[in-house]
Amino acid sequence: MRHLIPQAAAGKMISERPPLRRPRIRWRVFWLLNAFAAVIYFQQRSLTVAAERIMPELSLSQMQIGWLQWAFVVSYAMMQFPGGVFGQRVGARRALTMLSLIAVAATVIVPLAPNLLSGTALFAVLVSSQFILGAAHAPFFPVIAGVIESWLPANRWAFANGLNVMAAQVGAALAPPLLVIFMHALGWQRALFWWALPPLALVAIWVWYGRNTPREHPSVSAIELGELDAIHIPPADSSISVRRALRILLNRDIALLTLSYVCMNYAYYLVANWSFLYLIQERHFAALEGGVLASLPPLGAALGAGFGGGLTDALCTRFGIRWGYRLAPLIALPVAGMLLLFAVYSSNPYVAVAALTLSFMAIEVTEGSYWGGTTYVAQADTMAATGVMNTGGNLGGIIGVPIVAYLSGHHSWNAAFIIGFIMALLAAAAWFAVDLSRPVSNSAADEKLGIAS
């Protein structure tokens, strides 16, 4: 039976209730960024997973598949810094929308082109589609890093960037099993076509809900704005000048981070892009089993990125900015290199899969240090600065893709992995000289922080 409560008593009870805590809009925006990261990594892995079917049906060699990947990596590297500057100038909301639509169009070209073309013309279109896809994907992570800088406090930058990379690796992990299953059922062309379309829904949600800064979002409360204003977070600055861009390009610590990222990304691209074919060709797994097992390294990478970001923020709290950002890569990168050697010299193929997974996990533990550290140095110019760093990082792919394609095509997988071991050690060594306790000063950031120029 429902008991009646006197009106006065009921009013008193209502007035004594604590005010409801409004959700923090920044985390909703952040999870949309994670969805974008997962989508673009799914798109990037699609061609590699379908390569086994594409090569015999389209009469392409493994070296030609390598050139398709190389076309992507070249444009991806070339457009990092210009893409970061573009993101700062037009704002994250418009930038991510335009880039996503171009990426969907480039992804759809791959399954549709063989219906109209063949031979050299088809290969030229496929190369062009991968070049366009790389150019569209290039600004994503610099722009996302800039949104994280604007929307989240500094003591969450490494963790947030780590989680974003974690989401990307989840997208990469889902690509092999899902695409292999759909290719078995529908063929590779229909599988790639239908999986190219769901990102359009994400674009629609982002256009409706996403904003460049918290102050632009109608649902951000005064309490949340007060929290962010209290810690002086400068938003991404759309008025970036040539002088400030040059200051970023010439900054010693950003240059060292870029050099380290070059070396780290050779090992990254080795595991990320070639695990599936390595397991099929060298370890002789069946395609379906290889597709499932090839999803394990990116899952390990996802866990490593999320854990590494949180670890880096904790280390910064404990040891300060300089050593807080250094420690994770100084330990994790040599471990990753040794695991690459263990993977290729192990006689047990399942142990090799485990070693590849742990190696990729160790590699991605460092992402929070790279992205969060660059954000800490650049602040209002994060999009441009992370574009510089990721340009260098993808030089590792530009260098590595043809090397691995050539060596694997000549059944010299071991040599490709030995180079990965050396590159991981060089990437770690560069961190001894990196000092992220010296942010790049610029007039926009100084005004935000109340510092006289």
**263 and 427 in contact (C-beta within 8 Å)?**
yes
Q: What is the per-residue pLDDT for 451?
A: 33
**151 and 30 in contact (C-beta within 8 Å)?**
yes
Among the listed residues 334, 332, 398, the one whose alpha carbon sits nearest the alpha carbon of residue 369? 332
Task: Please indicate, yes or no, if residue 3 is contained in any of the structural domains.
Answer: no
pTM of the model: 0.80
Please compute the mean of the pLDDT values over residues 413-431 and round it to a whole number: 93
Say which range, 48-52, 218-222, 271-275, 331-335, has the weakest mean pLDDT.
Answer: 271-275
**387 and 245 in contact (C-beta within 8 Å)?**
no
CA Rg value for the chain:
23
Distance CA 70, CA 74 (A): 6
Comparing 22 with 39, which gets the higher pLDDT? 39
- Examine the pLDDT at 443 and tell me if it is beyond 50: no
- Examine the pLDDT at 6 and tell me if it is beyond 50: no
Residue 235 — very low, low, confident or very high, per pLDDT cuts 50/70/90? low
Task: Please indicate, yes or no, if residue 1 is contained in any of the structural domains.
Answer: no
Task: Please indicate, yes or no, if residue 224 is contained in any of the structural domains.
Answer: no
Task: Please indicate, yes or no, if residue 380 is contained in any of the structural domains.
Answer: yes
Q: What is the per-residue pLDDT for 1?
A: 42
**264 and 394 in contact (C-beta within 8 Å)?**
no
Domain housing 256: 24-215+240-439
**81 and 246 in contact (C-beta within 8 Å)?**
no
For 10, 12, 221, the CA distances from 15, given in Å and listed in that order, are 9, 5, 21
- Examine the pLDDT at 228 and tell me if it is beyond 80: no
Please compute the mean of the pLDDT values over residues 288-293 and round it to a whole number: 66
Task: Please indicate, yes or no, if residue 354 is contained in any of the structural domains.
Answer: yes
Task: Please indicate, yes or no, if residue 328 is contained in any of the structural domains.
Answer: yes
- Examine the pLDDT at 20 and tell me if it is beyond 60: no
**340 and 417 in contact (C-beta within 8 Å)?**
yes
**341 and 355 in contact (C-beta within 8 Å)?**
no
Among the listed residues 67, 68, 65, 95, the one whose alpha carbon sits nearest the alpha carbon of residue 83? 95
pLDDT tens by residue, 239-290: 777 788 888 888 999 999 999 999 999 999 888 777 767 777 777 677 656 6
**172 and 273 in contact (C-beta within 8 Å)?**
no
Say which range, 77-86, 270-279, 363-372, has the weakest mean pLDDT.
Answer: 270-279
**91 and 238 in contact (C-beta within 8 Å)?**
yes
Task: Please indicate, yes or no, if residue 432 is contained in any of the structural domains.
Answer: yes
Task: Please indicate, yes or no, if residue 184 is contained in any of the structural domains.
Answer: yes
Assign residue 382 a region (left: φ > 0; alpha: ψ between -120 and 50; beta: otherwise). alpha
Neighbours of 308 (CB within 10 A): 31
Residue 24 — very low, low, confident or very high, per pLDDT cuts 50/70/90? confident
Whole-number average pLDDT of the chain? 85
Distance CA 68, CA 351 (A): 30
Please compute the mean of the pLDDT values over residues 317-337 and round it to a whole number: 94
Per the structure, how many domains does the chain have?
A: 1
**87 and 236 in contact (C-beta within 8 Å)?**
yes
Choose from 10-19, 283-292, 357-366 the range with maximum mean pLDDT.
357-366
Please compute the mean of the pLDDT values over residues 386-397 and round it to a whole number: 88
- Examine the pLDDT at 358 and tell me if it is beyond 60: yes
**377 and 258 in contact (C-beta within 8 Å)?**
no
Distance CA 344, CA 270 (A): 12
DSSP line for 75-142: HHHHTHHHHHHHHHHH-HHHHHHHHHHHHHHHHHHHHHGGGT--HHHHHHHHHHHHHHHHHHHTTHHH
- Examine the pLDDT at 59 and tell me if it is beyond 80: yes
Please compute the mean of the pLDDT values over residues 110-124 and round it to a whole number: 94
- Examine the pLDDT at 84 and tell me if it is beyond 90: yes
CATH number at residue 202: 1.20.1250.20
Residue 85 — very low, low, confident or very high, per pLDDT cuts 50/70/90? very high
Burial class of residue 361, CB neighbours in 10 A (0-12, 13-18, 19+): buried
Among the listed residues 69, 35, 58, 75, the one whose alpha carbon sits nearest the alpha carbon of residue 122? 58
